[in-house]
């Protein structure tokens, strides 16, 4: 067999006459040393794997074990790697070999996920067929730069009287829902999702460390309201590993980002980030990272900031899509100055605070308007509603300040007493049932009726009966919001029964 000298090495060449047809011989072949790293699993437990012998491993890289199990690199030590188990098979045990894959964790994305319930890895949990998708996105990506963003200028209608009139939310905003356990935070978020029906807004609901009963109740609520087909539910149950709980909000964000990049409007709810922070603390303590305040790791702020900063309104040159985030955080005994709540308040563009005292008194939703704020404000509010809501908000805030004086039992001036009676009427008007979102026309109708004093003189159930009658009228044919104030005032006056109207004062 002939040979030649190449780069100092004697390489044997086949005889062309004896070379079989279709041979895979390459004349430019170079012999070289092939090196592959093989690690060894030394410990496993609580959803965490510790591996030795993979010096080239990188953060967020996927590792593969000999039995087919996979893990995500989460901690790099001097001699060992800490990894989150993504899927664990029965044969995985200490001593198993591990190898690098060079892949980062991603999830399938696209319209195939609408109407489905999935885990943080994109696997179906609703008993349906496996989800087929042609595109995938990494769970961890950088947030859009400033040059790729636009000002928040379009309203995201929640259907709630207090939010749409006094704490407006814009598409691309990050609005925190905060309050004690059992004050209706999840119910308020679900109401906002239900209000997106027919508004060309897609929804992602992320359930983190929730009981299975709560998960089933949420899914059934969305199905009965007819919004499950425009939603995707990402579930990390309370019984799952802390690693999957940690990945759940990033999976939901990746799903929403795909639709935002396609120029669509998306609403994503994280329920809730308190349990997400606890799962991250559990992971960090299992991997023996140095604990900080309340045993949370030092990068707990960065954990939530890099998640919520991905919610924005994209510039028109990039499609003009938006992702609105409603993160939920739980407080204890109303302490909003706790570690995790203050972190999230500083990251988000405002907060909706639910007061347990208001909840106990039956004022639902129990939104404390004095502690709630939207930093976007009227910039993302419908102009017609903004003009009518200004006077109403001022009346309500003045009433909350003056109501304190009624506790002393002293006599009040006539003007002060009138403001208090009008404030109590307004508080009755602001009550709202669950899963009963209002359209912008209905919001406009009750604002005009209140401003024109058509509810004055009514109390208790009479207020709700007349309000219900007005909203039924407004749900039918109504003037356009841009029709002008005179058209709306005339329409509301025609809808209300004569006995509700206030007589004109005599000269």
* Residues of the domain holding 126: 107-381
**pLDDT tens digits, residue range 436-456?**
999 999 999 999 999 999 998
Q: Is the pLDDT of residue 30 over 90?
A: no
**pLDDT confidence of residue 376:** 87
**pLDDT confidence of residue 11:** 46
| Average pLDDT score over residue span 176-200 | 95
411 & 483 share domain = yes
149 & 178 share domain = yes
- Asked if residue 296 lies in contact with residue 234, where contact means CB atoms within 8 angstroms, the answer is no
- Asked if residue 188 lies in contact with residue 328, where contact means CB atoms within 8 angstroms, the answer is no
> Tokens 């943080």 belong to which residue?
120
Share of the chain above pLDDT 90, in %: 69
79 & 171 share domain = no
**pLDDT confidence of residue 506:** 41
Out of 320, 346, 381, a domain closes at: 381
Residue 500 falls inside a structural domain: no
**pLDDT confidence of residue 494:** 87
- The C-alpha torsion from 119 through 124 and 126 to 127, rounded to 10°, is -140
147 & 77 share domain = no
367 & 477 share domain = no
> Tokens 């042609």 belong to which residue?
134
159 & 234 share domain = yes
366 & 394 share domain = no
375 & 401 share domain = no
Residue 29 falls inside a structural domain: no
Q: Is the pLDDT of residue 144 over 80?
A: yes
**pLDDT confidence of residue 413:** 81
Residue 357 falls inside a structural domain: yes
Q: Tell me, what CATH number does 434's domain have?
A: 1.20.150.20
**pLDDT confidence of residue 198:** 92
The backbone torsions φ and ψ at residue 427, rounded to the nearest 5 degrees and listed phi first, read: -65, -35
Taking alpha carbons only, the member of 204, 219, 209 closest to residue 252 is 204
Residue 9 falls inside a structural domain: no
**pLDDT confidence of residue 498:** 54
Q: Is the pLDDT of residue 4 over 70?
A: no
230 & 270 share domain = yes
Out of 104, 122, 156, a domain closes at: 104
Q: Which residues are catalytic?
A: 375
436 & 292 share domain = no
Q: Is the pLDDT of residue 127 over 70?
A: yes
99 & 115 share domain = no
Q: Is the pLDDT of residue 17 over 50?
A: no
| Average pLDDT score over residue span 16-33 | 60
Q: List the Cα angle 270/272/275 in 5-degree steps.
A: 135
Q: In whole angstroms, what is the distance from residue 11 CA to residue 239 CA?
A: 61
| Average pLDDT score over residue span 131-153 | 93
Q: Is the pLDDT of residue 131 over 60?
A: yes
Sign of CA dihedral 386, 387, 390, 393: negative
Return mean pLDDT, the chain: 89
Model confidence at 257, pLDDT cuts 50, 70, 90, reads very high
């Amino acid at each position: 067999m002939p040979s030649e000298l190449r780069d100092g090495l004697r390489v044997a060449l086949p005889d062309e006459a004896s070379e079989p047809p279709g041979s895979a011989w390459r004349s430019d072949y170079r012999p070289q040393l092939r090196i592959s790293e093989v690690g060894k699993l030394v410990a496993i437990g609580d959803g965490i794997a510790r591996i030795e012998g993979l010096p080239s491993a990188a953060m967020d890289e996927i590792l593969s074990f000999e039995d087919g199990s996979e893990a995500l690199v989460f901690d790099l030590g001097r001699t060992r790697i800490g990894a989150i188990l993504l899927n664990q098979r029965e044969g995985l045990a200490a001593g198993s070999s591990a190898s690098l894959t060079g892949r980062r964790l991603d999830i399938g994305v696209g319209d195939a996920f609408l109407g489905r319930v999935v885990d943080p890895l994109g696997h179906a949990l609703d008993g349906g067929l496996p989800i087929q998708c042609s595109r995938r996105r990494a769970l961890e990506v950088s947030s859009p730069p400033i040059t790729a963003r636009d000002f928040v200028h379009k309203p995201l209608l929640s259907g709630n009287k207090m939010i749409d009139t006094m704490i407006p939310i814009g598409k691309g905003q990050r609005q925190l829902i905060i309050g004690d356990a059992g004050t209706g935070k999840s119910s308020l978020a679900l109401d906002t999702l239900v209000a997106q029906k027919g508004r060309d807004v897609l929804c992602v609901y992320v359930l983190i460390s929730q009981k299975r009963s709560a998960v089933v109740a949420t899914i059934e609520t969305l199905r009965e309201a007819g919004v499950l087909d425009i939603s995707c539910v990402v579930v990390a149950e309370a019984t799952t590993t802390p690693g999957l709980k940690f990945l759940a909000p990033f999976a939901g964000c990746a799903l929403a980002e795909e639709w935002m990049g396609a120029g669509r409007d998306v609403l994503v709810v994280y329920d809730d980030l308190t349990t997400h922070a606890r799962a991250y603390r559990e992971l960090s303590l299992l991997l023996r990272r140095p604990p900080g305040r309340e045993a949370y790791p030092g990068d707990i702020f960065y954990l939530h900031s890099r998640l919520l900063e991905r919610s924005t309104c994209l510039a028109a040159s990039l499609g003009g899509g938006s992702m609105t985030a409603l993160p939920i955080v739980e407080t204890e005994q109303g302490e909003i100055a706790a570690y995790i709540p203050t972190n999230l308040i500083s990251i988000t563009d405002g907060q909706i605070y639910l007061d347990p005292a208001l909840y106990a008194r039956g004022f639902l939703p129990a939104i404390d308007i004095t502690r709630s704020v939207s930093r976007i404000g009227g910039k993302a509010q419908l102009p017609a509603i903004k003009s009518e809501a200004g006077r109403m908000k001022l009346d309500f805030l003045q009433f909350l300040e003056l109501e304190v004086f009624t506790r002393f039992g002293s006599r009040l001036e006539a003007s002060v007493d009138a403001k208090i009676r009008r404030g109590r009427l307004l508080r009755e008007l602001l009550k709202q049932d669950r899963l009963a979102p209002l359209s912008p026309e209905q919001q406009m109708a009750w604002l005009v009726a209140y401003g024109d004093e058509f509810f004055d003189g009514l109390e208790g159930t009479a207020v709700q009966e007349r309000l219900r009658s007005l909203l039924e009228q407004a749900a039918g044919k109504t003037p356009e919001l841009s029709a002008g104030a005179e058209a709306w005032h005339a329409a509301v006056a025609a809808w209300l029964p004569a006995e509700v109207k206030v007589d004109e004062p005599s000269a």
